[in-house]
Amino acid sequence: MNRIVAKDWLAPTVARFEVEAPLTARKRRAGQFVILRVTESGERIPITIAGSNPEAGTITLVVQKVGKTTSDLCALEPGEYLSDLVGPLGQPTHIERWGRVVCVAGGVGAAVILPIALAAQAAGNQVDTILGARSKDLLILEKELAAASERLHITTDDGSRGEKALVVAPLERILQAGPVHQVLAAGPLPMMRAVCDVTRPYGVKTVVSLNPVMVDGTGMCGGCRVTVGGEVKYACVDGPEFDGHLVDFDELRARLAVYRPQEETSRGRCRSNPEPLR
């Protein structure tokens, strides 16, 4: 069992947890995730590792409360326990000293982007981060992303904070100012696809963190199957990050629609999240 040592609310439906997981805390790298169960009889859900403290033996998880399992998880308080947790899973983000890097986070995708931006910064890159949401109340991890970036660009759909625009608006301006050597994006599927459409004419490598349905995290169930560059990949073991210009977004959207009739494509790595935060 894994004890919850701290909890706070980042948004009305988004909670951040510090959870005891010493081995995971020492081994995890940016881009990886865990699969956990709240109770022994509960479902398994994958959630991004948003950070870790190896000395304290804890990892940071950011969870959006939507379905039953995420609601049960968000109802837990410090001192209570998760039934079990396994990780780190997935391939870590490939990080090198590219030069100028743009990280794009939509909604709860900020929890995915934060460790990536920190790793890119630590490697000596110049990091611009774009953080978007529908409104200011749904923006999360703003201070943390600002500290991990040379410049933080904020957009909201309603203009309640930052620029009234989608995340692709500042991205286009940054690309025009160039040069940009790498773009990394995490958020709702339509957002990531739009980011790839914007970067493609510039020939800038664009990595997206995909969010298909996962069950076992070992590639056995096949639920997270995606087509990348004409080849079948499994997001839980081959990803979750892929070259966005090679991803078959039409197929992925169709597969998601089978499992999620309302195209539940939000982030946090929790595949139960339907909230289409941008």
Residues 190 and 156 in one domain: yes
Residues 110 and 79 in one domain: no
Residues 34 and 115 in one domain: no
Residues 82 and 122 in one domain: no
> Considering Cα of 59, then 63, then 67, then 72, what sign does the dihedral take?
positive
Domain range for 17: 2-89
Residues 159 and 242 in one domain: yes
Is 177 part of any domain?
yes
Residues 131 and 222 in one domain: yes
Among residues 62, 89, 116, the one where a domain terminates is 89
The CATH number of the domain holding residue 10 is 2.40.30.10
Residues 106 and 70 in one domain: no
Residues 83 and 198 in one domain: no
Is 32 part of any domain?
yes
Token digits for 25?
A: 């805390």
- CA pair distance 151, 147, nearest whole angstrom: 9
Residues 108 and 152 in one domain: yes
Residues 129 and 73 in one domain: no
**Tens-level pLDDT at each residue, the chain (278 residues):** 999 999 999 999 999 999 999 999 999 999 999 999 999 998 898 999 999 999 999 999 999 998 889 999 999 999 999 999 998 999 999 999 999 999 999 999 999 999 999 999 999 999 999 999 999 999 999 999 999 999 999 999 999 999 999 999 999 999 999 899 999 999 999 999 999 999 999 999 999 999 888 888 877 888 888 999 999 999 999 999 999 999 999 988 888 877 654 433 333 443 333 333 33
Residues 244 and 160 in one domain: yes
Judge residue 43's burial from the number of C-beta atoms within 10 Å of its C-beta, 0-12 exposed, 13-18 middle, 19 or more buried: middle
Residues 19 and 146 in one domain: no
- Domains in the chain, number: 2
- SS3 of 23, please? helix
Before 201, cis peptide (omega within 30)?
Answer: no
pTM (predicted TM-score):
0.90
The CATH number of the domain holding residue 204 is 3.40.50.80
Is 275 part of any domain?
no
